[in-house]
Structure 1
Amino acid sequence: MTALLILIVLVAGIVLATARWKVNPFLALMGAAILGAFAFRLPLGEIVTTVTTAFGSTLGNIGLVILFGTMIGVILERSGAAISMAEALIRVIGTRFPNLTMTLIGYIVSIPVFCDSGYVVLNSLRKAITLRTGVSSLATAIALMTGLYATHTLVPPTPGPLAAAENIGIADNLGLVIAFGLPVSAVAALAGLAYATVFSRRDFTPLPAESDDDISTQTYEELRESYGRLPNAFAAFLPILLPLALICTSSVVNLPGRPIGEGTAFDVLTFLGTPVIALVIGLLAATTLLRGSGKLTRFNEQMHESIRVAAPILLITGAGASFGAVLAASPLTGFLSENLAGLGIGLAVPFLIAAALKTAQGSSTVSIVSTSALIAPMLGSLGLASPEGMVLTVLAVGAGAMVVSHANDSYFWVVSQLSRIPVATAYRTLTVATAVEGVAAFAAIQVLALFLL
């Protein structure tokens, strides 16, 4: 019981430090790891080794994957590829179903691009479709927000799911995480779409724009012209689809039955499907999006920006792993394993912990990293130690990290302010939408568990 009280104090400290005192999550997690090591009375000679080994091992395994994935996302955002993808989807779907269009655009764009950035880039497109179709701006805002959110927390190479896969121990089989993450996130996105449709004809009084040059006042035509000539749809989609295809192909050829044998083809496909190599290939495909003079200068600038964006995520991921390693070495693991195993709630444990952390401190990434590190030592007692159980655990953590987005989440403010939705209205709509989405995703995971576990 003492170990559980220590955990509660540590988690409360992380939430208080990050949400109330605005302490950087890296410092909060690393501080919790060190204080926890002393509180759990780990041998003094093992504390530094436990913390640093977990930190270095985690970054060594997925650091480059996160970095290359971020680089792809920045190029897609800055080159206008996100707009190009959106226009390609509109040509296929049309504007008859604006909410569906926005959901699908968000669902695809957010696989490599952070949902905050994705919403900023696509907001003008959302406004244009809203004006063209006469549907409520509130509905298209919810549809785009939930579409982006779905893959952001459930599908690698987004950093959150990547970190969870590493902490849980399934990072060597990301293809399986992607294969199950895509349909689960599709269910979440469809739930968000259904909720958005409720508001299709519901008007609201928008907030006034903060200034004449506010991005929310920019027309779609102005945004499109700012990118110059947009890349063609094939080139825009390639940096996303190529790495995903390579990773999934590697997972297929590595199935126990070895579908293509173990010759040269097996070795080549396994190598190309290694997440780092697959994303390097995706990055090379992304460089073809750079056009005109000064390509090298723009490339270097975007790579510098990628490193700046990825650095905090890498540090938070490593610190979360250190915190998890301390918990794994403490008496807490045995206590929780004995007590939780008897409850028979399995996947609900990671889902509820992630949801509690997300709601309390606001960051989906911090919630995913912390929860996956905490839950990893308990997989056996929860009956989730198989590869399928690990994958579903990663997804359950991601589903929990959707619940709920409110005032302590930067994404809540990005969506509400760019869409000029009053705060009270945003609480009643955007916050509820993320709860609906997270619960729907967890329901889909539970259905998969009936067949896989």
Structure 2
Amino acid sequence: MVSGGIALFFLLLAVLAIIVLTAKYKMNAFVVLIGVAFLYGIAIGMPLKDVVANVRTGFGNTLGYIGIVIVCGTIMGYILEKTGAALSMTQAILKLVGRDRSALAMSIAGYVVSIPVFCDSGYVILTPLNKALAKETKTSMAVMAVALSTGLYATHTMVPPTPGPIAAAGTLKADLGLVIVLGLIAAFPAMIAGYIWAKTVAKKYWIEADIEVSYDELLKQQGKLPNTFMSFMPLVVPILLILLKSVADFPTKPFGGGGFAAFISFIGDPVTALMLGVILSLFLVPKGSLGTAYHEWMGHGIRDAAIILVITGAGGSFGRILQQSPMVEFIKTNLSGMHLGMLMPFIIAAALKTAQGSSTVAIITTSAIMAPILSTLGLNPALTVIAIGAGSMVVSHANDSYFWVVSQFSNMEVSVAYKIYTSATLVEGIVGIIVVMIMSIFI
């Protein structure tokens, strides 16, 4: 095979090809990643039979580790969306925080709702409430839009079971419980930064909330929503079980080595925990809609998962090829002393995100690039997942579908969206990586 330096040069060309093909020519990310994996393996002189074997192995190993979790997460998120559970959770947060602090309440609601629900879906679901609150409190829709969108964005990019962070955790073999805890910690200051940006920068722009009904009238129109406690259960229970398993796996064996510890390891496995989350979410479905939930909603969740699964698998194939290349040894010998630390995955993810628009593609591609060199650079896998997530926020602009969801559903001109929303995602990402770098001192 070629030398390590040449292999690294080919990697730079591969990343450039991914950016150009997905951003400029709008090619499907799965096709691009698989194609680049094959071409990179051939370019570095890997035997052809090994190229095919590594592509197959990388794809299978990645999906075998994380595939069921992604499917269960998307099914659960879609059921929470369709049953009104996301609205029920938001109302509970509003009651707790108060309508007089509506922007903060919507930031926190976004932070919670986007853990199981895609950020763009979450924004669409919560926009009527957001507009009604803006009208009632005489607040600019610019403030409310930035507050909600940045709250949703923070956990969407950094906290499982959102598909991007789950896929990255699987690729980097990071402890999922630890990723959840660290992601929640890092996402909260990022969310607060977005809220402050909304209250200081976005408030300079007045956008009228185009809604005729009041907040109370809107609630009446929504009809009967699921019980608040039950609405939170599909989200909270799997997270707690995964965290318990992480505790059970500590070297000190706090639960011992008997049957109870084995049960915790079983029930807290991400696959089991997320399957239980799906079961709990079905208790939210009205009896008359169970058939719809089983056939249509689950089917929709699986279809949502499919594209993420194939892109994640393709990222695993690319990562496997990179692991077998001379580049790994070259980096170990020549680049590990540069001390970029968590800035390396952050910068790569930010470059990919800004260039091609999709946070999920940026997360999956960056984790595939980082996987073979993680131990060489001495980076913590869980923190690396969060650093990648922070980078995947920088920045959301016109090539990102979420940019258009936020701007169009809020009656926001594109020029204004760049000034108050795109800039907010930059601030969020920077705050996120700062928190990660602080945590890396102690972990």
Aligned partner of 1:213 in structure 2 is none
1:55 equivalenced with 2:59 (yes/no): yes
1:198 equivalenced with 2:197 (yes/no): no
Alpha-carbon separation, structure 2, partners of 1:317 and 1:198: 38
Distance 1:10 1:200, change over 3 A: closer
Aligned partner of 2:419 in structure 1 is 428
Distance 1:338 1:226, change over 3 A: farther
* Deviation, structure 1 residue 260: 2.1
Aligned partner of 1:351 in structure 2 is 346
* TM-score, structure 1 normalization: 0.93
Aligned partner of 1:335 in structure 2 is 330
Q: Give the one of 370, 388, 392 matched to 1:397.
A: 388
Alpha-carbon separation, structure 2, partners of 1:206 and 1:95: 18
* TM-score, structure 2 normalization: 0.95
* Deviation, structure 1 residue 334: 2.3
Aligned partner of 2:402 in structure 1 is 411
Q: CA RMSD of the aligned region, Å?
A: 1.8
Distance 1:258 1:414, change over 3 A: same
Q: Give the one of 352, 355, 370 matched to 1:375.
A: 370
Alpha-carbon separation, structure 2, partners of 1:222 and 1:18: 44
Query: Mind listing any 5+ residue stretches in structure 1 that lack a counterpart?
Result: 210-215
Aligned partner of 2:93 in structure 1 is 89
Q: Which amino acid aligns with 1:450?
A: I
Distance 1:419 1:218, change over 3 A: farther
Aligned partner of 1:188 in structure 2 is 190
1:68 equivalenced with 2:58 (yes/no): no
* Deviation, structure 1 residue 221: 6.7
Q: Which deviates the most, 111-120 or 246-255?
A: 246-255
Deviations 1:329-358 (A, max 9, x none): 122222233332121121111111111111
Deviations 1:125-151 (A, max 9, x none): 111111111122111111111100111
Aligned partner of 1:236 in structure 2 is 231
Aligned partner of 1:317 in structure 2 is 312
* Deviation, structure 1 residue 3: 2.1
Where 2:107 maps in the other structure, the secondary structure is helix
Maintained 8 Å contact 1:206/1:421: no
Maintained 8 Å contact 1:55/1:322: yes
Deviations 1:265-312 (A, max 9, x none): 111111110001001111111001110424223331101101111100
* Deviation, structure 1 residue 229: 1.7
Distance 1:430 1:201, change over 3 A: closer
* Deviation, structure 1 residue 4: 2.8
Deviations 1:82-135 (A, max 9, x none): 111111111111111122101100000000000010001011111111111112
* Deviation, structure 1 residue 204: 3.4
Q: Give the one of 422, 445, 448 matched to 2:439.
A: 448
Where 2:158 maps in the other structure, the secondary structure is coil
Query: Mind listing any 5+ residue stretches in structure 2 that lack a counterpart?
Result: none
Distance 1:217 1:409, change over 3 A: farther
Alpha-carbon separation, structure 2, partners of 1:262 and 1:102: 44
Distance 1:134 1:92, change over 3 A: same
Alpha-carbon separation, structure 2, partners of 1:27 and 1:222: 48
Task: Give me the identity figure in percent.
Answer: 47
Aligned partner of 1:136 in structure 2 is 140
Maintained 8 Å contact 1:351/1:400: yes
